[in-house]
Structure 1
Amino acid sequence: MDTQWPLISAIVPTYNREEPLRDSIADLLAQDYPHLEIIVVDQTRTHTPEIAAYLSDMASSEKIRLFRVTWASLPGARNYAVRRAQGEIILFIDDDVKLPPDFLKAHARNYLEKPAVGAVAGRVFDRMKLSDSGGNLTIQDLPPEAMDPGIAWYYIDLVHTVKPQQVLSVRGCNMSFRRAIFSEHGLQFDERFRGSAVREESDFCLRLRQTGYQIWYDPEAHLVHLGEETGGCHDISTRSLQYQITFYHNHFFMGLKNLTPNQSRRFFARLFDCHVLGNPPCYKTPSLRHAIVRFSFYTLGFLSALITLIQANANDGQIYSWRDELSQNQ
């Protein structure tokens, strides 16, 4: 009996990417999967003529569903696409990835075989992290710390782990969810995560776990993340003041929203030890001057997150969704 593969909505938020976006779409179109819709949420003001023509051709031939928006927010783009998605499985990839031909089947198989699974975290062959490890590291079982929300973020390794298992969170460039997470439980990505939106998927997964669904890591659902240095979440220089403050803002905001006081204390202490003092696994420049500068960003990020949290009563986290007519009708 043939497998009844569910419809997958493959969502590609994009911002200031050209050839890598085209190649990512091409890999989706080449998938060995019978029921697929591709949704591209384009936040780029102006594409090169070649890529603009490609996107127009793909949309006019109904190979993709193309939506252009006038703002730039990764969680906002995710929410925008989810409201328009028709699939039973909602899958997200970045706009700079390479996919094997059975990528979609690997994701879908988990939902068909495991009713308790509400989200699938795919393996990410990250060029930078593989280079740091020499490409020889393999992990079977993640340590118990990887399921502790207070410190998990320094133990979850979805690059080198080769054994399927339950995990606490996913990586945003390769993740999928049952539609029920959105339609029945009402979860949305929090659009108050700024800049690169680091930790927006972690925040989402911590809330997802409250539904009772499991998050399952499947190394067979793997892709290559090219990690392009321009466009996407790298559009803001990592050396810029704005990037540094939003980086810490997002970490503190996730913790203040979701963690217990004890978990928050351990999370913020680890954030300080790694990103301010530069201890492993961060390996930052070991100088007092650099540490003082990083501490200033750490402090400003914390204060910024507090302000965001205080404003939460007047803001449900859907900063961009309120502009969407579909959001207003739901």
Structure 2
Amino acid sequence: MVNPKFSIIIPVAPWDEPKNSIKSLEKVDYPKNKFEIFLIKGTNPSRQRNEGIIKAKGEIIVFLDNDSEIPKDYLKKIEEHHKIYDIVGGPAETSNEDTFLGKCFGAVIGTYFTSQKMQAKFKGIGKLREATEKELILCNLSIKRETLIKYGLFNEKLYPNEENELLNNLERNGIKAVYDPKCPIYRRQRETLYKFSKQFFKYGKSRIEHFKEEPKNISPIFFTPAIFVLYLISLNFFNPLWYLAPLILYILVNLTTTITTTIEYKNPKMTLIIPFLFPLVHISYGLGILTGIFTSKEQNKKGEIIIQKIQ
């Protein structure tokens, strides 16, 4: 058999079962003999992906999550981009089948107020362009296998945000990445407020762990939510009128973004929820940053890796 064009790697927890990614791959418009699928069970996603890369035979490695649902023309689109670029990515947009709360979560993280330049990870915006780790997300990312083998795999001590170090390393070696806003995957957001806030707490904490591994990549903008948390705490002890100016500005930007987001999604009911989600994200992320600064990193579990070739 001729080696496949694509090797699709999907890490899952030991207790998890195949979900939307496998179902959507069954419907993809691409010759079945030209891509292989690896479902890799374990407790360290970075290591699981590395094991998959080593096992893979494809020219291009496609990284999806278990809940990533791809359009039928997905592989054809990224194949075209890979004629020029070693790295191809697109947004992870909220599924139309998600709950109302899930759609609110997706709307919030897709705003500049919440995510700044990283909003491109969650919503297709702008034109086809070269991009960095700030706009690329691992659940919708493909990289040429020879590039990974040559320049290094994932840092198995990092999760989540493990793709940030990998992409920064590839960029330093002159490898270009392209972001296609019209090449999305679709996924459901977290089911509850608690899981949503925990998600961003972990993002903040792991961002600091990433900086500890790569101090040269420290960016002051990521510390803004932590400063916001400290500011809110300080209001309990120091609150003259002039000191309330940042809070008033925050509320005004919050309300303005709520209005524009509600208009964009054409759902007035969102105004009842999303004004409260903005501070939830900022505070959760900020607390994660502060926790990461003042605590040592937990060791990632090694455990057994089970590689199951689906196709």
TM band (smaller chain): 0.5 to 0.7
**Structure with greater contact order relative to length (CA < 8 Å, sep ≥ 6):** 2
2:205 aligns with one of 249, 263, 276: 249
Identity %: 20
Partner secondary structure for residue 91 of structure 2? strand
Q: How many residues were matched structurally?
A: 250
1:297 positional shift: 5.1
1:274 positional shift: 5.8
Partner secondary structure for residue 300 of structure 1? helix
1:119 and 2:80 matched: no
**RMSD after superposition:** 4.1
Q: Deviations over 1:154-193 (max 9, x none)?
A: 31313131411011122111100011222222x1111222
Partner secondary structure for residue 176 of structure 1? strand
CA distance in 2, matches of 1:258, 1:89: 27
Equivalent in the alignment of 2:62: 91
2:48 aligns with one of 69, 77, 80: 77
Equivalent in the alignment of 2:157: 192
Following superposition of structure 1 onto structure 2, how do residues 115-154 of structure 1 map, counting pairs within 5 Å?
A: 117-127=85-95, 131=104, 154=116
- Residues 6 and 108 in structure 1, CA contact (< 8 A), matched pair in contact too: no
1:76 positional shift: 1.6
Q: Deviations over 1:180-224 (max 9, x none)?
A: 222222x1111222xxx3321122211111121111001332221
- Residues 31 and 103 in structure 1, CA contact (< 8 A), matched pair in contact too: yes
1:228 positional shift: 5.2
From the superposition, tell whether residues 29 and 82 of structure 1 become closer, same or farther in structure 2 (CA, over 3 Å).
Answer: same
Following superposition of structure 1 onto structure 2, how do residues 215-294 of structure 1 map, counting pairs within 5 Å?
A: 215-227=177-189, 229=191, 237=195, 246-260=202-216, 264=218, 266-273=220-227, 283-284=278-279
Q: Deviations over 1:43-93 (max 9, x none)?
A: 3xxxxxxxxxxxxxxxxxxxxxxxxxxxx1121211111111111100011
Equivalent in the alignment of 2:23: 26
CA distance in 1, matches of 2:150, 2:25: 28
- Residues 9 and 85 in structure 1, CA contact (< 8 A), matched pair in contact too: yes
- Residues 24 and 98 in structure 1, CA contact (< 8 A), matched pair in contact too: yes
Structure 2 unmatched runs, 5+: 96-100, 233-249, 258-276, 306-311
Partner secondary structure for residue 175 of structure 1? strand
Equivalent in the alignment of 1:212: 174
1:38 positional shift: 0.4
From the superposition, tell whether residues 277 and 40 of structure 1 become closer, same or farther in structure 2 (CA, over 3 Å).
Answer: farther
1:294 positional shift: 7.9
Question: What is the one-letter code of the residue matched to 2:157?
Answer: R
CA distance in 1, matches of 2:70, 2:285: 37
The TM-score, its normalising length taken from structure 2, stands at 0.65
Equivalent in the alignment of 1:303: 294
1:109 positional shift: 1.0
Equivalent in the alignment of 1:180: 146
CA distance in 1, matches of 2:47, 2:205: 17
Q: Deviations over 1:256-275 (max 9, x none)?
A: 33343xx6261453241467
CA distance in 1, matches of 2:79, 2:55: 20
1:33 positional shift: 1.6
1:120 positional shift: 0.6
Question: What is the one-letter code of the residue matched to 1:284?
Answer: P
Partner secondary structure for residue 191 of structure 1? coil
1:11 positional shift: 0.8
From the superposition, tell whether residues 190 and 275 of structure 1 become closer, same or farther in structure 2 (CA, over 3 Å).
Answer: farther
- Residues 96 and 228 in structure 1, CA contact (< 8 A), matched pair in contact too: no
Deviates more, 1:90-99 or 1:245-254: 245-254
* Structure with the bigger percentage of helix: 2
1:277 positional shift: 5.8
- Residues 89 and 178 in structure 1, CA contact (< 8 A), matched pair in contact too: yes
Question: What is the one-letter code of the residue matched to 1:201?
Answer: E
1:94 positional shift: 1.0
